[in-house]
């Protein structure tokens, strides 16, 4: 019986496994896109561009949101539910602010004539950053669900799995954005 209990503890939760498979798939997708970007930038018609300041602000916001989701997860594990609710709401608001800043960044690019159809280099920028934004929007939807659940009056089940899942995913989209930002800066 002791061996069975030990084996059960060493298993990864099915939802965590699924999340890691999904993260692996997303990493492969962005690896393919950034590899194609490197190959295409050697074309004669490639045009370099500067990233808008809003992308830098959004970077600070998503890093801050990674800190708040970490603290929310820690608060949940400590059963400090009032602090958990505040931090989860803070993470949600920062996630929404990240998306707003990304939109502002794209509006800045658009006003400078850096549009999706103008050049293949601009198309890559829109696809790469746009796909990341879609993944952040997915995370924001999950944060909305988590925030709503934190205020629910229903019987609570204090399973840390959902909190760990959103925390892991949110840290992932944070790190992915930092990678993409520096990639776009270095490989012009």
**Does residue 85 sit within a domain?**
yes
Q: What is the pTM of this model?
A: 0.89
Confidence of residue 155 (pLDDT cuts 50, 70, 90): low
**Does residue 21 sit within a domain?**
yes
Domain CATH code at residue 72: 1.20.120.80
How many CB atoms are located within 10 Å of the residue 36 CB? 13
Range of the domain at 26: 10-44+52-186
pLDDT digits over 77-120, tens only?
Answer: 999 999 999 999 999 999 999 999 999 999 999 998 888 777 88
pLDDT digits over 3-12, tens only?
Answer: 555 555 678 8
**Does residue 36 sit within a domain?**
yes
**Does residue 22 sit within a domain?**
yes
Total domains present in the chain: 1
pLDDT digits over 13-59, tens only?
Answer: 999 999 999 999 999 999 999 999 999 888 888 888 889 999 999 99
**Does residue 162 sit within a domain?**
yes
């Amino acid at each position: 019986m002791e061996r069975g209990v030990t084996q059960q503890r060493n298993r990864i939760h099915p939802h965590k496994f699924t999340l890691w498979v999904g993260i692996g798939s997303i990493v492969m997708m962005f690896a393919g896109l950034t590899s194609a970007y490197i190959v295409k930038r050697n074309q004669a018609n490639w045009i370099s561009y500067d990233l808008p300041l809003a992308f830098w602000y959004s970077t600070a916001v998503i890093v801050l949101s990674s800190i708040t989701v970490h603290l929310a997860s820690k608060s949940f594990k400590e059963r400090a539910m009032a602090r958990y609710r505040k931090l989860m709401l803070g993470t949600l608001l920062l996630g929404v602010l990240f998306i707003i800043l990304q939109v502002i960044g794209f509006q800045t690019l658009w006003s400078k004539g850096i549009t999706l159809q103008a050049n293949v280099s601009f198309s890559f920028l829109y696809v790469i950053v746009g796909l990341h934004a879609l993944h952040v929007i997915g995370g924001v939807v999950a944060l909305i669900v988590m925030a709503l659940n934190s205020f629910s009056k229903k019987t609570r089940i204090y399973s840390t799995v959902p909190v760990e899942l959103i925390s892991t995913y949110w840290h992932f989209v944070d790190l992915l954005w930092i990678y993409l930002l520096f990639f776009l800066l270095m490989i012009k």
